Amino acid sequence: MSETLTPIPHKCIGVAVIWNDRGQILIDRRKAHGLHGGLWEFPGGKIEPGETVEACIQREIREELGIEIAVQAHLITVEHTYSHFRVSLMVHHCRHLAGEPQPLECDEVRWVNLDQLEQFTFPQANVKIIEALKG
């Protein structure tokens, strides 16, 4: 008797590390219900079929935060496996261009300094992003 293993779902996510003119980074707190509820994260979202990482990041930031950004250099790609799915986080530095960040798809947004990031609880996959930023 053999078991058929179902491959765990894989999500490709475009992630923005958004910098303002004061050298601060924008983070948001996930809604309390749902996966990783209440944890802080770098904003972004799932890459749609046929969409570039850069286009995904711009679209997601517009939808989730209501601001315009310039997507800049690739920072890191993080591969992480949780218990029920895998993620590939394609992380880019971004520059805030226009608009005041609004918590449209999250509970809270906050501009923080790089050395303040460790005061916030992030999902496990985000730890490598923070390490790369501090590297």
C-alpha to C-alpha distance for 64 and 29, rounded to whole angstroms: 12
Q: d(Cα 126, Cα 43) in Å, to the nearest integer?
A: 11
Residue with tokens 């992630």: 15
Q: Could you read off the pLDDT of 60-84 as tens digits, one per residue?
A: 999 999 999 999 999 999 999 988 8
Q: What pTM was computed for the model?
A: 0.92
**Alpha carbon separation from 8 to 81, 85, 135 (Å, rounded):** 9, 5, 31
Per-residue pLDDT band for 3 (boundaries 50, 70, 90) equals: low
Would you state the pLDDT for residue 1? 52
Provide CB contacts within 8 A for 135, sequence distance 6+.
Answer: none
31-40, 43-52, 120-129: least confidently modelled range: 31-40
The predicted-structure confidence for 102-135, as pLDDT tens digits, reads as follows 999 999 999 999 999 999 999 988 999 999 999 8
Predicted pLDDT of residue 23: 98
- Write out the E strands in the chain: 10-19, 25-29, 40-41, 44-46, 68-81, 86-98, 108-112
Q: What is the largest CA-CA distance in the chain?
A: 62
28 burial (CB, 10 Å; 0-12 / 13-18 / 19+) is buried
